[in-house]
């Protein structure tokens, strides 16, 4: 792979995060990272792959998976805890809550802080130290709740 030219593909922020994550800066990674950083709908790896593939014809899905995994391990993006089959990723690291629809798999941001309660901190102290709390509401969105009234899921 050719080294990336930051000016032509996705900005210096993506390049900096690529470097900080210990990844070699390539055009593919810079485009993938640029795309996840501006994503506001918590994409999974396959969704992100389909978005950037037209710009990167040689890209493999595996590269997207590995890049996202490294970024979340290094704390630059967050892998969401959801009951959905695929891993979903969020570039917004500010404490906020999610709503997941188990029928259409869409994920919404809820502007509610997720500070751990004193009870939680005390209980967790017996085990270790909590770095981050994720709160995910799981249910049916309005569209899907409405749909299932008319034609219930089998």
Per CB under 5 A, residues contacting Zn ion are 90, 101, 103-104, 109, 141, 144
CA-to-CA separations, 17 to 31, 61, 118, in angstroms, rounded: 12, 20, 34
Between 95 and 116, CB nearer to Zn ion: 95
If you ran DSSP here, which 8-state letter would residue 110 be given?
A: E
Helices 27-38 + 45-52 axis angle, to 10: 120
Between 64 and 101, CB nearer to Zn ion: 101
The tokens for 10 are: 């996705």
Per the CB < 8 A criterion, the answer to whether 45 and 60 are in contact is no
How far apart CA 91 and CA 116 sit, in angstroms, is 21
- Shortest distance, CB of residue 24 to Zn ion, whole angstroms? 29
Between 1 and 104, CB nearer to Zn ion: 104
- Shortest distance, CB of residue 110 to Zn ion, whole angstroms? 9
- Shortest distance, CB of residue 79 to Zn ion, whole angstroms? 11
The tokens for 15 are: 């390049």
- Shortest distance, CB of residue 78 to Zn ion, whole angstroms? 8
Between 5 and 41, CB nearer to Zn ion: 41
């Amino acid at each position: 792979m050719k080294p990336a030219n930051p000016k032509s593909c996705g900005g210096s922020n993506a390049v900096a995060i690529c470097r900080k994550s210990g990844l070699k800066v390539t055009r593919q990674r810079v485009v993938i990272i640029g795309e996840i950083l501006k994503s506001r709908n918590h994409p999974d790896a396959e969704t992100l792959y389909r978005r950037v593939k037209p710009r990167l014809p040689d890209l493999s899905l595996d590269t997207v998976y590995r890049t996202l995994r490294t970024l979340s391990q290094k704390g630059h993006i967050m892998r969401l805890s959801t009951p959905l089959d695929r891993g979903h990723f969020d570039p917004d690291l500010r404490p906020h809550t999610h709503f997941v629809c188990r029928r259409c798999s869409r994920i919404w941001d809820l502007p509610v802080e997720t500070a751990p309660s004193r009870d939680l901190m005390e209980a967790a102290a017996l085990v270790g130290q909590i770095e981050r709390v994720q709160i995910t509401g799981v249910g049916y969105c309005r569209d899907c709740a409405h749909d299932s009234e008319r034609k219930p899921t089998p």
